[in-house]
Amino acid sequence: MIEIRIHGRGGQGAVTTGQIMAIAAFDDGKQSQTFPMFGVERSGAPVQAFARISDEKINIRSQIYNPDIVVVLDSSLLDAVDVTSGLKEKGTLIINTNKKPADLSIKGKFNIHAVDATSIALKIFGKPIVNTPMLGAFSKITKAISLKSLTKAIDETFLETKGKKIAELNKEAITAVYNQTK
């Protein structure tokens, strides 16, 4: 089982990130579970969401304390939240930032990936919508979910509620970040 923690700010779509992740994992034939860190969400306040992906039925219902992977949607959180808290040694940390991993002064033996999702989002959406683009990086780096299922999950999430145009833009952003991520 892979355990994932997503850090974002209220309004950035951390919860939606977990939901799309869970749907994509399910479409890949896996079991998945996602839930937010239950709180009284305020726009801009630090928020967390959790996701689990497993080949077997997921029974555990507690929060995630020792994630295998941490995704940070907003690098300004690095000053506000201990994003590596409980992250397993050699665990994967994926941060939306235009800096290099070495310049982020993160302590600990982690596999750190810097992804400039904001600039790609600004090109494609004209707005800093970073949650879905970060899923492209997540897919490429962790291989925990496939790009094919990810784009399918985007359709499932956005086609009916937000329309074809929004779904296509999200898929374009995800694919762009996927291709750009090493």
Partner 1 sequence: MERLADYINDGILKSEMIHAESEHSAISAALGAEAMGVRTFTATASQGLALMHEILFVVSGMRLPVVMAVANRALSAPINIWNDHQDSISERDAGWIQLYVESAQEALDTIIQAYKIAENRKILLPVMVCLDGFTLSHVYEPVNIPKQKDVDKFLPRYNALFKLDPKKPITMGPIGFPDTYMEFRKETHEAMLNSIEVIKNTNNDFKKSFSRSYGDGLIETYKINDADYAVAAMGTVCGTTRVVVDELRKQGKKVGLIKIKSFRPFPKQKITNCCKNIKGIAVIDRNISLGNEGALYTELRSAFYNQKKKPIINGFIAGLGGRDITLSHIKTAFNKIENSSDTEWLL
Residues forming contacts to partner 1 in the complex (CB under 8 A) are 18-19, 22-23, 26, 31-36, 38, 40, 58-63, 65
Contact 72, 96 (CB under 8 A): yes
Residue placing its CB nearer to partner 1 in the complex, 17 or 118: 17
Distance CA 104, CA 30 (A): 34
Residue whose CB is less far from partner 1, 35 or 125: 35
Minimum CB distance to partner 1, residue 36 (Å): 6
Query: Based on CB atoms, which residue is closest to partner 1, 85 or 98?
Result: 85
Residue 105, φ and ψ in degrees, nearest 5: 45, 55
Nearer to partner 1, 59 or 105 (CB): 59
Q: How far is the CB of 114 from partner 1 (least distance, A)?
A: 28
Instruction: Report the nearest approach of partner 1 to the CB of residue 120 (Å).
Output: 26
Q: How far is the CB of 131 from partner 1 (least distance, A)?
A: 15
Q: How far is the CB of 87 from partner 1 (least distance, A)?
A: 17
Q: What is the DSSP string of 111-180?
A: EEEEE-HHHHHHHHTSS---HHHHHHHHHHHH-SS-HHHHHHHHHHHHHHHH-HHHHHHHHHHHHHHHHH
In three-state secondary structure terms, 14 is helix
Residue closer to partner 1 by CB (options 62, 105) is: 62
Task: Answer yes or no: are the C-beta atoms of 89 and 21 closer than 8 Å.
Answer: no
